[in-house]
A and B are shown apart, each in its own frame.
Chain A
Amino acid sequence: MSEPADPRAPYLSDFESLSKEFYESEPDWLRTVRAAGLARFRDVGFPTLKDEMWRYTNVAPIAKQRFVPSLRLRGDGVSEDRVRPARLSQFEGSELLFLNGRYMPRLSKLKDLPPGVRVGSLSKMLAWQPNAVEGKLGRFARIEGSPFTALNAAFLQDGAFVEVPKGAFVEHPIHLLFLATFHPQPTASFLRNLIVVGEEGRVTVTESYVGLDEGVYLTNSVTEALVADRGRLDHYKLQRESEHAFHVGTLQIHQGRDSVVSDNSLSFGGAIVRNDVNTWFDGEGGELSLYGLYSTHGTQHVDNHTRIDHARPACTSRELYKGILDGRSRGIFYGNIIVHKDAQKTNAMQTNKNLLLSKDALADSIPGLQILANDVKCKHGSSIGQLDEAAIFYLRSRGLDAEAARALLTYAFAREVVDQVKVAAMHAVLSIQLASRLPQTDAVREVL
C-alpha cells in the first residue's frame, strides 16, 4: 500500500517551475509575497472539516484534483460571439475581460475615466508600475486567513487594478468579467484584484465569474479593497461558474473613517463554492452593507462566510444573506461580527434567511456576535423555512396555478436582496438568472 499522495506536492512543484519560468523577473517584494504564501500553504495544507472555519465544507474534491495553473495555458482564446452572452448588456461602464485568469485587452472596453483614475490589468501594473501596488497587495488579505488565500498569494496571476484618487467620482460601474473555459486537463486560475479608493473617492466595481463550458476547473480569487476616509465603494460579485467547477473567493475590505461600503454577493453556479467577505473598520463612523443571495439546486454546495471587525467606535454594519436551496443542495451562512473592546456606539445587524424548496435540501445558518464593548446596538437573526402554504393557497385562490404561486413566492423571497442591486445591467442579469431556476411560468414573467 502506498501512502495517499500529499495534495500539496503538485503545488510545490508547480511553484518551483513557475518561479524559474515567470516569477524570477518580478520585483523582490512580490517574490517575497509569493514565497510567504507558498510557505504558509506548505505548513497548513488544505483545510479539513476539523477546522472551525471549514467544518461545513469538505474541500477534499478540490485537494484531490490535479489542476494545471492557468498561467501555463498557451494560445488560449475565445471569440466575441462566445463571450457576448456573459457580458452585461446595455452596460455603460468599462469592462475588463479575463479568460482563464489572463487579461484579454482586445475583448475589454475601457471608457473615459476621470483624471488620475487608473483601471487595468494587475499583471500589467506589476510589470510596468510595480510601485503603485507595492505595500498594498497582500497587506489586507492575510495569508493566515485561509489556506486558499495563501495559495492565491503564491500563484496570483492577474486580475484588475482599480485606483480612484482623492475626491474622484467614477460615474459608471467598472465590470470585471472572469470567464472560464473547459480544458481536458483541469485548470486553476488564481485571480487577484486590488481596489484602492482614495479619500472622498467613489466607485462601483462589479465582478462576474462565468463558466462558458460545463466542466471541472478551479477559480481561486481574492479581491482586496482599501477605502480611505469618506470614500465610497459599491461592490458586486455575481458567481455563475460551471456547476462542475470549484470556486473559492475572498473579498477583503479595509475601511477608513466615515467611509461607506456595500457588497452584494450573488451566487448561483459551482459544484463547491466558498465565498468569504471580511471587513475591517479602521476608522470611526464607517458604514457597511453586506447583502448575499445564494440559489442552489442539484448537488451544489455553497458556503458563505462573513466576518466584520468593528475595531473602531461608531461604525454601522447591516447584513442580509438569503439562501434558496433546491434539490439535494446545501447552503451555509456563517457570520461573525466582532465588536472590539473600544468600539463603543457600534451598530450591527445580521440576518440570514433560508428557503428550502425540497425536502432533501439542507441549510446551515450560523450567525455570530462577539461583543467586547458595552455601549453597542447589535442584533442577529436567522431562519430556515419552506414556502408558506397559506400564501400558496391565497395566490391559487386568485387564479394562479400552484407552480406559478411557488415561483412567485420564491422570487418574492429573493427580492429583498435583488432590489439592493443598483446597477441596472446587473439587476437584469440577476432577474433572468433567478427566473431560470424557477418554473417558466407566465405569472413570474409578469412580475419580472
Chain B
Amino acid sequence: MALLEIRDLRAKVGEKEILKGVNLTVNAGEVHAIMGPNGSGKSTLANVIAGRPTYEPTGGQVLYDGKDLLAMKPENRAREGVFLAFQYPVEIPGVGNAYFLKSALNAIRRYRSEPELDAMDFMDLVNDRMKLLGFDEAFLSRSLNDGFSGGEKKRNEIFQMAVLEPRLAVLDETDSGLDIDALKVVANGVNSMRNQDRAIIVVTHYQRILNYIVPDRVHVLLDGRIVKSGGEELAHELEKHGYAGIEGEVSAAR
C-alpha cells in the first residue's frame, strides 16, 4: 500500500479553484519533487495535505496510510506523522523554541500512547538533532522564529522535522530565499532523514535544490494538474527548457 495516495483532488482558496484534479502516489522510502511555476497550485497542494483551514478541498480523495487524511484535524495529521515545512514559517514571540517543540513532541507521543519525554531525554534528542543542522544552544532559548532571518526560519523547519520524525514530510519551497551554504545545510538535514519508512515531497520552483536532494520521481504541476511525471532527469530538462516548454508540449497534446 502506498503511504500517500491522492486521487482527483480538487481544492479552492476563497472562491478560486486552484487544484483541478491532482493524482499522485508516493510510497514509503521515496522522495518526490513537485515542480511548477508560480500559481500552478504547488503550495495549495502542500497546504491541503497539512489541513490549513482556508484551503478547502472540494473533491477527490487523499489516503494516508490507507486513512482518509482530509477528514482529520490538522493536529491529528501531525500526530499521524504528516509534517509540513512552511514556505513562510510564522513568528511567535513569547513561545520558546525548545518549550514549543517539547510540547509538540509530547502531544504527538501521547496520541500514540508512547511515554512522554522528560526534560533530560528531550534535551538529549534535541542536542543530537542540533548537531545535524549545525545549530547552537542559543537558538533553543529564542522565541519561535522571532526575529529569525529567512535562512534561520527554513533551517528551523528542518530542525523541527528532525525532532518530530514524521513519516511524510512536505517541504513547501524550503529552498526559496536560501543562499548556497544554507541550502546545503538544509539539504544535508533532509538527506540524513531519508529512510525506508519515510516519504518526502519537495515542492519547489527551481531545480537547484534537487542537485542536493536527489528525487526518485519528479512531477510537473501546471494549472492545478500534474501534467508530466518522470525521473530525476525531468528536473534537468525543466532547467534547460523552462516551464514554457512543458506548457507547449501539454497544449499540443490536447
Contact = CB atoms under 8 A, between A and B. Distances in A.
B104 A400 contact: yes
Interface string A399-435: 1111010001101111110000000000000000000
Interface string A368-410: 0000000000000000000011110111111111101000110
Interface string B216-241: 00000000000000000000000000
Contacts of A400: 75, 103-104, 107
B92 A399 contact: no
Interface stretch (A88-96, A171-179, A439-447): A439-447
27 contacts: A393-B52, A394-B92, A396-B51, A396-B73, A396-B75, A397-B74, A397-B78, A398-B78, A398-B101, A399-B75, A399-B107, A399-B111, A400-B104, A400-B107, A401-B75, A401-B107, A402-B73, A404-B103, A404-B107, A408-B103, A412-B92, A412-B93, A412-B94, A415-B93, A442-B103, A442-B106, A446-B106
B74 A447 contact: no
Contacts of B102: 446
Contacts of B111: 399
B99 A447 contact: yes
Contacts of A413: 94
B178 interface: no
Interface string B11-47: 0000000000000000000000000000000000000
Contacts of A395: 92, 100, 104
Interface-central residue, A390, A393, A397, A414, by most chain B CB under 10 Å: A397
A381 to B, nearest CB: 16
B150 interface: no
A172 to B, nearest CB: 28
Nearest to A418: B94
Interface of B: 50-54, 73-75, 77-79, 83-84, 86, 89-90, 92-96, 99-108, 110-111, 143, 160, 164
B166 to A, nearest CB: 10
Contact of A446 (B73, B86, B90, B99): B99
Binding site secondary structure of chain B: helix
Contacts of A415: 93-94
B50 A397 contact: yes
A393 B74 contact: yes
Per CB-CB distance, the 6 closest pairs between chain A and chain B, nearest first, are A412-B94, A415-B94, A399-B78, A398-B104, A446-B103, A394-B90
A398 B78 CA distance: 6
Contacts of A388: 90
Contacts of B105: 399
A393 B83 CA distance: 12
A388 B144 CA distance: 14
B132 to A, nearest CB: 18
Contact of B95 (A389, A393, A399, A412): A412
A402 B74 CA distance: 9
A396 B74 contact: yes
B92 A447 contact: no
B88 to A, nearest CB: 8
B74 A411 contact: no
A391 B107 CA distance: 17
Contacts of B99: 446-447
Contacts of B143: 412
Contacts of A398: 78, 100-101, 104, 160, 164
A397 B84 contact: yes
Contacts of A404: 103, 107
Given A399-B111, A442-B103, A416 B93 contact: yes
Contacts of A390: 90
A391 B92 contact: yes
A403 to B, nearest CB: 10
Given A390-B90, A398-B160, A416-B93, 11 more contacts: A389-B53, A389-B54, A393-B53, A395-B100, A397-B51, A397-B83, A400-B103, A404-B103, A411-B94, A442-B110, A446-B106
A409 B144 CA distance: 11
Contacts of B92: 391, 394-395, 409, 412
B203 to A, nearest CB: 15
A384 B95 CA distance: 20
A391 B88 CA distance: 11
Contacts of A414: 94
Nearest to B52: A393
Interface in A76-132: none
A322 B183 CA distance: 40
A399 B94 contact: no
Most buried by A among B77, B89, B100, B110: B100
Contact of B89 (A394, A409, A416): A394
Contacts of B106: 442, 446
Nearest to A405: B75
B168 to A, nearest CB: 13
A94 B22 CA distance: 70
